[in-house]
Structure formats: structure tokens, C-alpha cells
Amino acid sequence: MTFSVSTFQGHSVVRADGELDVSTAPQLRQTITSALDDAGDKVIVDLSAVTFMDSTTLGVLIGAHNRVRESGGFLGLVCPDDKIRRVFRITGLDNVFTLYDTVPDAATALA
């Protein structure tokens, strides 16, 4: 699992590659928190290269979502893979998060 932070059209993008589970959740949490601190609570999380995601990861994303909701920020999730989207559908979290197919789609919504 690797994490990177980049900028796209002035927005911070946290990209995760590989499996997201209990062993990688703390690093994901720290990466998203740092990006939110630097970006003023407006971040895109790119899950397009994620091959597996567990409930611990959902907890990290819910925590980030709650933080940005309280401050009027934005947390966009890029999730084009139907296997990963299914996790959001099964848990009902597709009603909490807006899922985008691409980083440009999320950036447009952020504008």
C-alpha cells in the first residue's frame, strides 16, 4: 500500500494504491488529516487504484467526512471500480459520500 498527495487544479488529492485494511488505516488517516490541514478542509481522496477496502477504512473516511462537514469543507471520493463502490452501496454509505469516477469530476464539484 502506498499513499501520495498531489495537487490537481489547485485541489489536494490523496491517492491510495493497493489494499486498505486495518494495517494501513492509520497511515491513510494521517495522510488525509495532513492534506485537510494543508488544504483548508477540501480534499479529494482517489481510490481508483484500491483493490480491497475493509470496514476500518470506512471508519477513517467517515471520520474525515465528519471533520469536513463540521467546517463546511469538502471530501470527494474518486471510486470508479464497481467492486469498491459495492462496499459503499452495501453499507449505505453511498448516501453519505458522493462518489466520482475521476479526479477531474471531483475537482469540478469542489469548485
The architecture (CATH level 2) of 2-110 comes to: 2-Layer Sandwich (3.30)
Give pLDDT tens digits for 17-67.
999 999 999 999 999 999 988 877 789 999 999 999 999 999 999 999 999
Q: What is the pLDDT of residue 10?
A: 82
Average pLDDT taken over every residue of the chain: 93
In the chain, what is the straight-line distance between the N-terminal and C-terminal CA atoms, in Å? 30
User: Given a cut of 90, is residue 74 above it in pLDDT?
Assistant: no
Q: What percentage of the chain exceeds 90 in pLDDT?
A: 77
Decide: pTM greater than 0.85: yes
CA distances from 14 to 5, 64, 67 (A): 5, 12, 16
Please state the domain extents for the chain. Answer: 2-110
Hey, how many other C-beta atoms are within 10 angstroms of the C-beta on 45?
26
Q: What percentage of the chain exceeds 70 in pLDDT?
A: 100
